């Protein structure tokens, strides 16, 4: 369960995305990368359907999968019924997310007899491996995110009639898992992976097991992709990683804050976001970079997980409440107002009522602009599986409700202060029925707006809006001409 959407957390959210718009294909042919208009094969294309669950990392991985499949002569379709190959890019961060793919597979099992093939990609594929074939025998492809670059060979095997194809490569290599092609669906805002995997091993988290150890990508390669995207007309870039703050440039040229600043200096780039940060590795230099570079968005997602140092220790988070608050103080001392959001887990084994109260008091102290709240979910392989003092599910639910109600009140107050402010937004869409345009601020807040008759802002453009109404999760305003 979440209290608001629109920003990313450390691992993955159990949201699902049906990627379907006509993608723009980028050919990655070493660094710097070239962009190629693809010659489509003469044969009628094979069709595929892809549904994505989880975080931005998965969403971006899906762009790589789509790019690879299209380059192999496949065409993406919008319905399971219309597809020959049905793919799910999965998330295993919490049990509910993991179960979703098995529900989907059960729903569509009957289609297998019509000759359709099924593939499970992503974190559940990596975590469960060939066991997926036992649980869902009609699945033909199981492929973890480290193996997407081998998809072309796997597709050849599938097409040759092989019943079970797996790509569960070693995630311990130092390579970054770039595929040759990426199909970005949004023409204005795009992701760039800067670091894969995680070495933190927080006690509850499955990510180090599904995504392997940390591997950073060279800053020159990141910058080359950023410049290429700017040349294509992208104005917003989101740097992605499970823990972007532990970025270590393999060429030794740039720290994370320097890389952030350099991407912000790429001509044409107006907004740079990054997700996700880990408090332990979050340095003051990041705040200084945000302060001195207006193109770096004034929003930091800094997951705290708990307000109790005792629970943080049990979670193996490697910081105390006070150390976390020190980082918050750096942001509050900045010249720009930085919006802060967080992830919080309730009901971690051994979390007492007093611990939970500390999380509530932390909400008051920090005054987040948004949180994602989660009930602790035991995950395979994780150290917290062995902990006693399990919090009953009803109690977790109660704590989550209390947490979310408190945060809603904080947000109601915090969003109100934008009333009367003129804020620059990027136009993202149109809500015809409400007669409104959908847009987002640099702080990552949704600020929808109306326009005077005859005015029609372009998608992807930046306009100024005066805020007139506030809600706990969004703002409403009028475009300023």
How far apart (Å, rounded) are the C-alpha atoms in residues 478 and 457? 12
Q: How far is CA 118 from CA 106, 107, 210, 350, in A?
A: 11, 12, 21, 41
Per CB under 6 A, 343 contacts ligand 5AD? yes
For the record, the structure tokens of 27 come out as 């050919």
CB under 5 to 8 A by kind: which of ligand 5AD, ligand SF4, none does 200 bind? ligand SF4
Beta strand pairing call for 24-27 and 370-375: unpaired
Per CB under 6 A, 13 contacts ligand SF4? no
CB under 5 to 8 A by kind: which of ligand SF4, ligand 5AD, none does 198 bind? ligand SF4
How far apart (Å, rounded) are the C-alpha atoms in residues 336 and 292? 9
Candidates 257, 126, 129; CA nearest to 196 is 126
CB under 5 to 8 A by kind: which of ligand SF4, ligand 5AD, none does 289 bind? none
CA angle 86, 22, 48 (to 5 degrees): 15
State the maximum Cα–Cα separation within the chain, in Å, rounded to a whole number: 67
- For ligand SF4, what does the binding mask look like between residues 170 and 209, x meaning CB under 6 A? ----------------------------x-xxx--x-xx-
In the chain, the N- to C-terminal Cα span, in Å, equals 39
Partners of 117 in the beta sheet?
85
Nearer to ligand SF4, 123 or 465 (CB): 123
How far apart (Å, rounded) are the C-alpha atoms in residues 128 and 272? 35
Q: Which residue of 7, 256, 376, 437 would you call a contact of ligand 5AD, by CB under 6 A?
A: 376
How many CA atoms lie within 13 Å of 55's alpha carbon, on the beta-carbon side?
Answer: 21
How far apart (Å, rounded) are the C-alpha atoms in residues 361 and 372? 16
For the bound state, the minimum distance from the C-beta of residue 276 to ligand SF4, rounded and expressed in Å, comes to 7
CB-based contact 372:403 (threshold 8 Å): no
Nearer to ligand SF4, 282 or 437 (CB): 282
CB under 5 to 8 A by kind: which of ligand 5AD, ligand SF4, none does 379 bind? ligand 5AD
CB under 5 to 8 A by kind: which of ligand SF4, ligand 5AD, none does 377 bind? ligand 5AD
Q: Which residue of 205, 272, 286, 340 would you call a contact of ligand 5AD, by CB under 6 A?
A: 205
Per CB under 6 A, 200 contacts ligand 5AD? no
Per CB under 6 A, 180 contacts ligand 5AD? no
Per CB under 6 A, 204 contacts ligand 5AD? yes
- For ligand SF4, what does the binding mask look like between residues 317 and 346, x meaning CB under 6 A? ------------------------------
Phi, psi of 2 (to 5 degrees): -130, 160
Partners of 143 in the beta sheet?
121, 167
For the record, the structure tokens of 267 come out as 């001509």
Q: What is the three-class DSSP state of 379?
A: coil
Q: Considering only 5-13, 21-29, 58-66, 191-199, which stretch makes contact with ligand 5AD by CB under 6 A?
A: 5-13
Per CB under 6 A, 278 contacts ligand SF4? yes
Partners of 236 in the beta sheet?
189, 271
Nearer to ligand SF4, 273 or 317 (CB): 317
How far apart (Å, rounded) are the C-alpha atoms in residues 463 and 452? 13
Q: Which residue of 345, 363, 391, 463 would you call a contact of ligand 5AD, by CB under 6 A?
A: 345
Q: Give, as ranges, the residues between 108 and 147 that touch ligand 5AD (CB under 6 A).
A: none
CB-based contact 391:347 (threshold 8 Å): yes
Per CB under 6 A, 10 contacts ligand 5AD? yes
Per CB under 6 A, 3 contacts ligand 5AD? no
Phi, psi of 440 (to 5 degrees): -135, 140
Radius of gyration of the chain (CA): 22
For the record, the structure tokens of 85 come out as 């190959």
Per CB under 6 A, 54 contacts ligand 5AD? no
Question: What is the total count of residues that contact ligand 5AD (CB under 6 A)?
Answer: 16
Beta strand pairing call for 46-53 and 181-184: unpaired
Partners of 122 in the beta sheet?
90
Nearer to ligand 5AD, 197 or 303 (CB): 303
- For ligand 5AD, what does the binding mask look like between residues 68 and 97, x meaning CB under 6 A? -------------------------xx---
CB under 5 to 8 A by kind: which of ligand SF4, ligand 5AD, none does 278 bind? ligand SF4
Site for ligand SF4, rule CB under 6 A: 10-11, 198, 200-202, 205, 207-208, 242-243, 278
Site for ligand 5AD, rule CB under 6 A: 9-12, 93-94, 204-205, 303, 305, 343, 345, 374, 376-377, 379
């Amino acid at each position: 369960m979440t209290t608001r959407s629109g920003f990313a957390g450390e691992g993955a959210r159990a949201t699902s995305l049906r990627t379907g718009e006509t993608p723009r294909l980028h050919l990655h042919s070493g660094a710097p990368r070239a962009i190629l208009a693809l010659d489509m094969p003469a044969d009628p294309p094979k069709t595929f359907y892809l549904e994505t669950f989880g975080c931005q990392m998965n969403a971006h991985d899906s762009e790589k999968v789509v790019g690879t499949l299209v380059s192999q002569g496949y065409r993406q379709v919008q319905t399971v019924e219309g597809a020959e190959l049905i793919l799910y890019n999965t998330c295993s961060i919490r049990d509910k997310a993991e179960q979703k793919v098995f529900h989907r597979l059960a729903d569509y099992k009957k289609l297998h007899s019509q000759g359709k093939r099924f593939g499970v990609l992503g974190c559940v594929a990596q975590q469960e491996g060939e066991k997926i074939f036992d649980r869902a025998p009609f699945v033909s492809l199981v492929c973890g995110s480290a193996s997407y670059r081998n998809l072309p060979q796997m597709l050849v095997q599938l097409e040759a009639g092989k019943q079970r194809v797996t790509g569960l490569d070693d995630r311990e290599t130092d390579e970054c898992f770039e595929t040759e092609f990426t199909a970005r669906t949004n023409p204005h805002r795009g992701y760039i992976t800067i670091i894969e995997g995680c070495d933190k091993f927080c006690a509850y988290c499955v990510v180090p097991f599904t995504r392997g150890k940390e591997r950073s990508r060279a800053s020159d390669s990141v910058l080359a992709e950023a410049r290429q995207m700017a040349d294509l007309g992208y104005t917003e870039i989101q740097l992605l990683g499970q823990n972007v703050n532990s970025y270590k440039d393999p060429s030794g040229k740039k720290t994370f804050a320097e890389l952030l600043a350099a991407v912000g200096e790429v001509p044409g780039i107006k907004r740079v976001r990054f997700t996700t940060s880990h408090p332990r590795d979050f340095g003051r230099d990041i705040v200084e970079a945000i302060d001195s570079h207006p193109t770096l968005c004034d929003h930091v997602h800094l997951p705290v997980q708990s307000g109790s140092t005792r629970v943080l220790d049990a979670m193996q988070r490697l910081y105390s409440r006070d150390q976390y608050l020190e980082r918050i103080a750096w942001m509050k001392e900045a010249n720009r107002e930085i919006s802060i959001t967080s992830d919080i887990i309730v009901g971690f084994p051994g979390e007492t009522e007093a611990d939970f109260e500390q999380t509530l008091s932390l909400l008051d102290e920090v005054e987040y602009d948004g949180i994602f709240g989660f009930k602790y979910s035991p995950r395979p392989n994780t150290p917290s599986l062995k902990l006693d003092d399990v919090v009953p599910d009803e109690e977790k639910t109660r704590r989550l409700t209390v947490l979310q109600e408190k945060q809603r009140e904080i947000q109601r107050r915090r969003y109100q202060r934008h009333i009367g402010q003129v804020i620059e937004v990027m136009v993202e869409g149109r809500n015809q029925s409400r007669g409104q345009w959908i847009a987002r601020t640099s702080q990552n807040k949704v600020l929808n707006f109306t326009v005077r008759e005859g005015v029609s802002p372009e998608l992807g453009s930046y306009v100024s809006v005066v805020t007139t109404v506030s809600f706990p999760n969004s703002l409403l305003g009028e475009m300023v001409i």
